[in-house]
Protein backbone atom coordinates (compact mmCIF):
# COMPACT_ATOMS: atom_id res chain seq x y z
CA UNK A 1 0.00 0.00 0.00
CA UNK A 2 1.32 3.41 -0.98
CA UNK A 3 1.12 6.42 1.31
CA UNK A 4 1.36 10.03 0.22
CA UNK A 5 -0.55 12.62 -1.68
CA UNK A 6 -2.82 11.76 -4.51
CA UNK A 7 -2.56 13.69 -7.77
CA UNK A 8 -6.35 13.70 -8.03
CA UNK A 9 -7.85 17.10 -7.25
CA UNK A 10 -11.07 16.90 -5.25
CA UNK A 11 -14.07 18.69 -6.76
CA UNK A 12 -14.25 21.23 -3.90
CA UNK A 13 -10.57 22.11 -4.35
CA UNK A 14 -11.01 22.25 -8.13
CA UNK A 15 -13.85 24.73 -7.64
CA UNK A 16 -11.69 26.80 -5.24
CA UNK A 17 -8.88 26.92 -7.83
CA UNK A 18 -11.38 28.09 -10.48
CA UNK A 19 -12.65 30.84 -8.15
CA UNK A 20 -9.11 32.04 -7.36
CA UNK A 21 -8.15 32.00 -11.06
CA UNK A 22 -11.31 33.99 -11.82
CA UNK A 23 -10.44 36.59 -9.18
CA UNK A 24 -6.97 37.05 -10.70
CA UNK A 25 -8.51 37.32 -14.15
CA UNK A 26 -11.21 39.83 -13.16
CA UNK A 27 -9.11 42.10 -10.93
CA UNK A 28 -7.44 45.32 -12.11
CA UNK A 29 -4.63 44.38 -9.74
CA UNK A 30 -3.87 41.73 -7.13
CA UNK A 31 -1.43 42.51 -4.33
CA UNK A 32 0.06 39.65 -2.34
CA UNK A 33 0.82 40.20 1.33
CA UNK A 34 2.19 38.28 4.27
CA UNK A 35 0.00 38.81 7.30
CA UNK A 36 1.87 36.72 9.90
CA UNK A 37 1.44 38.36 13.31
CA UNK A 38 -1.82 40.22 12.60
CA UNK A 39 -4.73 39.48 14.90
CA UNK A 40 -8.16 38.61 13.54
CA UNK A 41 -9.33 42.12 14.45
CA UNK A 42 -6.41 43.73 12.64
CA UNK A 43 -7.07 41.65 9.52
CA UNK A 44 -10.72 42.75 9.69
CA UNK A 45 -9.55 46.38 9.85
CA UNK A 46 -7.35 45.88 6.76
CA UNK A 47 -10.32 44.26 4.98
CA UNK A 48 -12.56 47.24 5.81
CA UNK A 49 -9.97 49.74 4.55
CA UNK A 50 -9.62 47.81 1.30
CA UNK A 51 -13.37 47.35 0.89
CA UNK A 52 -13.69 51.17 1.00
CA UNK A 53 -11.51 51.34 -2.16
CA UNK A 54 -13.26 48.46 -3.98
CA UNK A 55 -10.81 45.71 -3.09
CA UNK A 56 -11.33 42.35 -1.40
CA UNK A 57 -8.72 40.97 1.01
CA UNK A 58 -8.68 37.17 0.95
CA UNK A 59 -6.57 34.70 2.92
CA UNK A 60 -5.91 31.85 0.48
CA UNK A 61 -4.25 28.45 0.57
CA UNK A 62 -0.89 28.74 -1.18
CA UNK A 63 -1.17 25.31 -2.79
CA UNK A 64 -4.48 26.16 -4.50
CA UNK A 65 -3.32 29.68 -5.37
CA UNK A 66 -0.17 28.31 -7.04
CA UNK A 67 -2.32 26.11 -9.29
CA UNK A 68 -4.64 29.03 -10.07
CA UNK A 69 -1.90 31.53 -10.99
CA UNK A 70 -0.31 28.95 -13.28
CA UNK A 71 -3.69 28.43 -14.97
CA UNK A 72 -3.96 32.16 -15.75
CA UNK A 73 -0.34 32.45 -16.92
CA UNK A 74 1.07 34.26 -13.87
CA UNK A 75 3.78 31.70 -13.08
CA UNK A 76 6.08 34.43 -11.72
CA UNK A 77 3.76 34.82 -8.71
CA UNK A 78 4.43 31.24 -7.56
CA UNK A 79 7.68 32.18 -5.79
CA UNK A 80 5.79 34.89 -3.81
CA UNK A 81 3.38 32.30 -2.43
CA UNK A 82 5.43 31.35 0.63
CA UNK A 83 4.24 31.67 4.21
CA UNK A 84 0.84 32.99 5.25
CA UNK A 85 -0.48 34.83 2.20
CA UNK A 86 -3.49 37.07 1.71
CA UNK A 87 -4.34 38.75 -1.58
CA UNK A 88 -5.98 42.13 -2.13
CA UNK A 89 -8.01 41.80 -5.32
CA UNK A 90 -8.64 45.31 -6.67
CA UNK A 91 -11.80 45.90 -8.68
CA UNK A 92 -11.48 49.68 -8.60
CA UNK A 93 -8.49 52.01 -8.48
CA UNK A 94 -5.35 49.91 -7.95
CA UNK A 95 -3.43 52.97 -6.69
CA UNK A 96 -6.03 53.58 -3.97
CA UNK A 97 -5.83 49.92 -2.92
CA UNK A 98 -2.02 50.04 -2.84
CA UNK A 99 -2.19 53.19 -0.71
CA UNK A 100 -4.66 51.54 1.68
CA UNK A 101 -2.30 48.56 2.01
CA UNK A 102 0.69 50.87 2.50
CA UNK A 103 -1.18 52.73 5.26
CA UNK A 104 -2.06 49.41 6.92
CA UNK A 105 1.58 48.27 6.70
CA UNK A 106 2.67 51.48 8.43
CA UNK A 107 0.15 50.88 11.20
CA UNK A 108 0.96 47.15 11.39
CA UNK A 109 4.63 46.63 10.42
CA UNK A 110 4.15 42.84 10.37
CA UNK A 111 2.00 43.26 7.23
CA UNK A 112 4.38 42.93 4.29
CA UNK A 113 3.51 43.50 0.63
CA UNK A 114 5.28 40.79 -1.39
CA UNK A 115 4.35 41.96 -4.89
CA UNK A 116 1.51 41.17 -7.22
CA UNK A 117 0.06 41.75 -10.63
CA UNK A 118 -1.10 44.99 -12.23
CA UNK A 119 -3.07 44.81 -15.50
CA UNK A 120 -1.56 41.42 -16.29
CA UNK A 121 2.05 42.38 -15.48
CA UNK A 122 3.79 40.85 -12.44
CA UNK A 123 5.26 43.49 -10.14
CA UNK A 124 7.67 43.16 -7.21
CA UNK A 125 7.25 44.51 -3.68
CA UNK A 126 8.84 47.87 -4.49
CA UNK A 127 6.61 48.44 -7.52
CA UNK A 128 3.55 47.42 -5.54
pLDDT, averaged across the chain: 90
Query: What percent of the chain stands above pLDDT 90?
Result: 83
DSSP the chain: ---S--SPPPHHHHHHHHHHHHHHHH-SEEEEEE-TT--HHHHHHHHHHHHTTTEEEEE--HHHHHHHHHHTT-GGGGGG--SSEEEEEESS-HHHHHHHHHHHHHHSTT-EEEEEEETTEEEETTT-
Query: What pLDDT score does 127 carry?
Result: 84
pLDDT at 8 over 90: no
The average pLDDT across 84-92 equals 95
pLDDT at 1 over 60: no
pTM confidence score? 0.87
Amino acid sequence: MRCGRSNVVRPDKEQAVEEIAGKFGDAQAALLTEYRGLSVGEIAEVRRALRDVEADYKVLKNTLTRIAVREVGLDELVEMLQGPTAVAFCRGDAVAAAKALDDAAKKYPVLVVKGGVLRGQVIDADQA
